[in-house]
Structures are given as C-alpha cells and as structure tokens.
C-alpha cells in the first residue's frame, strides 16, 4: 500500500488532508486489522484510553476537486478485498460487519432496470449490432446491448460464470477485439489508479471505438459548498475515489480521451435510486 502524494485524477500536488476511518470491513479483509479497546492495562503513559479504529486520511485535490482515500492498495491488497467478490464467503464476512448487507446484495444481483436508459444514451453513437467489451463486467448481466450485440466480451478479475451469449476474454484478446463499444461501469471508483486504468482501457480501443464510463456522482460531490466536502468525509469503504466534473475531465484528458458527453442522472439498482455520471468518450485526435 502506498500513500497518495498526488491527485489520482489530475496529478495535482496540492492536497488538503483531513483525518478519517478506514471502515472495519476493509481494514479486516485487506490487512487483518480489527478495532480494539485501549485500556489502562495497556500502560501507555501518554495515550488516552478508548476505542481505536484504523486511521486514514481524506484527501481533497485543490486543483480538480477530487476527493479520495490516501491509501492506495497494491494488487495483492486489491486481490484480498475483491477475491470472490459478493460470493457466499464475502457476503457472510461483510454481513458480520454490516448487518443487512446480504439482503441489499441480493437485490443488486437482479440486474439493473436502468439498462434501457443507458442504451438510449449510447444508441446515437453506435450501429445496430455493436461489438462490445465490458471491462470489469462481472457476469455480463449489466452490459448494455446484451443479447443483441455482435460480440459480448467480458474482461474481469473474477472467474464467475458469465451469462448466456457472453464470453470471458483475457487482456491480449481484449486488445485485439476491435470493439465498437468498450464499457466500464462501477469500476473506477474502486481502483487505486483510475487514470492508469483508463489508459489501459484505451489499449482495447480503435479510433472508432466509443468508451462508456459510469460511476457514482456521490451525494457529497453534489453539495454546493465545496469547502464542506472533505471535512464531511470521515469514513472510507470500497468506493475510494469520489469524482467531480473537473476530475473526470482531467483524468480522461490525461488518458488520451476526448469526452463527447458527460451527464449526471439518476438510475435505479437494487430497489434504490442513486445518482451516477455517464461519460461517453473516444480516443483523442
Ligand atoms: Zn486533482
């Protein structure tokens, strides 16, 4: 794990820090760290007794307004966090830390009712039967145009069985795929280097390929008073990057992408409505 010294979106070095807690589920799953009670019996002369949690920092980029966790997990730590993601063991562990998680996860597994809305957004940029790569697409259940695309490829760290009509591919195959559409939905908010991941995605694109990105437009980032945001973010869970409009523009530009559309709109998933950014981009130039 590294501690970020620069903004993960724009590369800016003016980061304002405030203290926060790494949520116990993440601390336990990644590092095996558990909260504990410091008592007088510890004989710590200069420290006050009380409950201790895993401390971290919220970083706020002065240049682009991105807000993110200072801890940047390495591949091994990400592997520990996302191994058999949302599988039975994962859900059982998370339920222990966050009662009610299993029920919410079951609702998510039913697939997104907002898919037609996303397809309507993308349709003007595509032919009737696009070749589609879903980067981080899990089982392929939420890939736009599933069931009616010329190719439905999934590149994902998980090895879950994919839905009928979809095919799991490796990185080399993805790079050779000549896709009309590369999709990456609800991935960038989880990763340590979102700009680097965007650059990697461009390796599966041609000049004609459309890239569709979707990630949360977090409630915190919709607050009018920008100064309040970082001090209101006192805990970090699996979404380790909160994106602003300027952060999106900066990271896509650094990855060599030109943004065609960037909209913030509500979608429904798992019986709840949330606000997301939808970004449509192409290779620059
Ligand atoms: Zn920034």
Residue 72: count other Cβ atoms within 10 Å of its Cβ.
Answer: 18
Domain boundaries, the chain: 2-283
Neighbours of ion ligand 1 (CB under 5 A): 7, 9-10, 12, 61, 63-64, 66
The radius of gyration of the chain from alpha carbons, rounded to an integer in Å, stands at 20
Q: How confident is residue 35, by pLDDT bands cut at 50, 70 and 90?
A: very high
pLDDT digits (tens, 9 = 90+) for 112-132: 888 999 999 999 999 999 999
**Residue 42 in 3-state DSSP?**
helix
**Ligand 1 centre distance from Cα of residue 187 (Å):** 19
CB 248 within 8 A of CB 279: yes
Closest CA to 133 of 202, 196, 64: 202
CA of 185 to the centre of ligand 1 (A): 21
Ligand 1 centre distance from Cα of residue 251 (Å): 8
Q: Give tens-digit pLDDT for 67-102.
A: 999 999 999 999 999 888 888 889 999 999 999 988
- Give the three-state DSSP class for 239: coil
pTM for the complete prediction?
0.94
Domain over 2-283 is classified CATH 3.40.50.970: no
């Amino acid at each position: 794990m590294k501690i970020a010294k620069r903004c993960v979106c724009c590369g800016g070095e003016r980061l304002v820090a405030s203290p926060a807690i790494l949520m116990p589920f993440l601390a336990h799953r990644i590092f095996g760290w558990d909260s504990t009670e410091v008592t007088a019996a510890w004989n710590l002369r200069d420290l006050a007794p009380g409950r201790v949690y895993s401390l971290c920092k919220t970083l706020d980029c002065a240049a682009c307004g991105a807000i993110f966790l200072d801890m940047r997990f390495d591949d091994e730590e990400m592997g520990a966090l996302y191994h058999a993601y949302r599988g039975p063991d994962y859900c059982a562990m998370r339920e222990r830390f966050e009662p009610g998680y299993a029920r919410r996860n079951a609702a998510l597994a039913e697939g997104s009712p907002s898919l037609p809305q996303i397809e309507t957004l993308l349709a003007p940029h595509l032919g009737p039967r696009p070749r589609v790569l879903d980067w981080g697409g899990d089982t392929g259940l939420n890939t736009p145009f599933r069931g009616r695309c010329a190719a439905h490829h999934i590149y994902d760290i998980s090895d879950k069985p994919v839905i009928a009509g979809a095919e799991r591919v490796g990185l080399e195959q993805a790079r050779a795929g000549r896709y009309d559409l590369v999709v990456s939905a609800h991935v960038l908010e989880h990763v340590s280097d979102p700009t680097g991941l965007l650059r990697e995605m461009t390796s599966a694109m041609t000049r004609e390929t459309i890239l569709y990105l979707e990630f949360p437009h977090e409630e915190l980032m919709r607050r009018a008073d920008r100064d309040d945001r970082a001090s209101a973010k006192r805990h970090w869970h699996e979404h380790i990057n909160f994106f602003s409009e300027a952060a999106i523009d900066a990271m896509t530009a650094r990855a060599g992408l030109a943004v065609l559309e960037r909209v913030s709109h509500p979608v429904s998933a798992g019986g709840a409505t949330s606000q997301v950014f939808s970004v449509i981009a192409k290779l620059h130039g």
